[in-house]
Structure 1
């Protein structure tokens, strides 16, 4: 008996196949970085069946495909998303934003656990373009949301690192489809509150929830009027103990300010509520307000109008992103040269752009 047989290790490729190990040249093996164990990639059908049956491991692996930059992974991810699309769309998508210190993680855990207590299955996603530099806040958030992360009815997924805002946003939207197909009927999309990410979140959710700090002025809140106008619901957090009075004052002041904002296309007038994530006081009221919002917009038809407009928006965004990616590849050297000339004030931005576009059109026609 050879050493391989004595140790129980297959001594040949044919022996390996008996153990369920594919040949080394099998296309079902994912090529990974040196030093890492190769993993067998499930088939397209296995991915689809796993997701539709609510297999969380298969869902996580499918999301990893969506986040991958490999061409074969992208192709497989697109096929999986296409198959899952008819099974998506049945959730309520809630965007949650607020400046650091507002208590987003604590609120999401408290609010998420309440949603689960109402019989909901919850997926928590995040849009954090800063993760390409810092690793992203969701890593800490997942640790702080310990109760939620252990719950079988919850699924928490950080945004992919090393991505631009556009890339993170597009992949988050695709992840929403997969989570919905896996049976999650409530989706939280968190933003770190860095400016542009709020707009990205707003373009993929049904309701946009803005968290405010009790007793803080507009300067401290760091909230632009545009973000306030995007909000469908506002909640003043940390309404605990002596802070309750400040929270109520902030609620009253904010509700008064909202009346000066332009009327929402949906006809919905945003309300401002107060809550405590620790005592969970006010959490049921926020949930009920979301249910009322959903009911109202579905009755007047705007719920579907909003989703249709979002789908059109992301079609344009995706086309723009792909064209820009191709443009940068095709025009790499000239693009670099034009940027240098613009930065040195040797050429205007408009002139440089025109030159690049003319040359790009020539190259793609060749």
Structure 2
């Protein structure tokens, strides 16, 4: 009985592994045909921290790379309460109605600490999730082998290979997430709300300098005059900030995600940005710079992972760390000792 049970367990594990490692040709064909289930499977494959899955995923990406790069990548962030989810759903549905295919990814680099919300984005964007021209997926973060740097970028590439024309990347976390997403998109949008006096005092100059467009949301009803005033205040301060993109003047506009007002104008602004930057060469130059930065971040992540997975480091690190905390070693001495172990 016990032997039979163990054989059944082994068979199930083997079946599970072979199912996870779906043949590359099948996945390539499924992703290229726009099959959302195969796209989800492909993304799950590159999310995995398993070394087998990692190699399999890289083979898949190699096959799909010739079909990537043709989308417009748009980053979206916003202050708390700015209505990002409502905006993305309204914006995404508007684009789908025009015949575009839209993928929405949500990035939360802090989720390794907080746990994140895996189903939150689909819950908040129910209508867009059901649209056949849309694909909504929380993007993984943290972990080994690259974290958000690798996984979100590779998820974008898979979506492009699946034929999605527009990739919307929403930052869920705060602080570093804006910088990370700015480094992987073509156009970066900052959503704000009325009360610009308080907003501007609390808004970090650095985040505003990342934006190609500032959108004052909830510009409707009795709030419309205040929203227009907020837009003017942002517009005035933008003159004193460094533009996010060479040759493009960051703009401030209003919109109502609830009523769809101003959504079309925002898309016109983005298409104008795309044309201007492609004509000037800034678009291609940014993509090249991002690819170089991606390479550097991948090297850093792999080396860091290799360091902490080294058996000698694992065995000795706790004791060396304790010596530093106790004041028996300086941090520099600890690093030298650890590097000597690693270089063996």
TM-score normalised over the length of structure 1: 0.85
Residues of 1 paired with 2:168 and 2:269: CA distance?
16
Flag the 1:171–1:222 CA change in 2: closer, same or farther, 3 A. farther
Higher helix proportion:
2
Distance in 1, matches of 2:139 and 2:13, equals 31
Equivalent residues of 1:100, 1:193 under 8 A apart: no
Q: Is this contact kept in 1: 2:141–2:151, CA < 8 A? A: no
Displacement after TM superposition at 1:168 (Å): 2.4
TM-score, structure 2 length as denominator?
0.90
- Please say which structure displays the higher CA radius of gyration: 1
- In structure 2, the CA distance between the partners of 1:311 and 1:218, relative to structure 1 (3 Å rule), is farther
Stretch deviating more after TM superposition (127-136 or 82-91)? 127-136
Deviation of 1:116 (Å): 1.1
Task: Select 1:159's aligned residue among 133, 139, 156.
Answer: 139
Q: Contact 1:135–1:161 at 8 Å: present in 2 too?
A: no
Q: Report the CA distance shift for 1:223/1:139 in structure 2 as closer, same or farther (over 3 A).
A: farther
Cα deviation 1:43-89 (Å, max 9, x = unaligned): 11101111111111111001000001111111110000111111000
- Tell me the residue number matched to 1:122: 102
Q: What is the 5 A alignment of 1:1-366?
A: 24=11, 29-31=15-17, 39=19, 41-137=21-117, 139-160=119-140, 163=143, 167-218=147-198, 222-264=202-244, 266-330=246-310, 331-361=313-343, 363=344
Deviations 1:168-196 (A, max 9, x none): 23201000000000000100001014111
For 1:165 and 1:327, how far apart are their aligned partners in 2?
12
Task: Report if aligned partners of 2:73, 2:166 keep a CA contact under 8 Å in 1.
Answer: yes
Alpha-carbon separation, structure 2, partners of 1:327 and 1:47 = 33
Q: 1:200 to 1:218 in 2, by over 3 A?
A: farther
Q: How many matched pairs?
A: 334
Classify 1:236/1:80 alpha carbon distance in 2 versus 1 (closer, same or farther; 3 Å).
Answer: same
CA RMSD across the alignment: 2.4
Query: Alignment partner of 1:83: what SS?
Result: helix
- Distance of 1:322 and 1:164 partners within structure 2: 8
Q: 1:102 to 1:342 in 2, by over 3 A?
A: farther
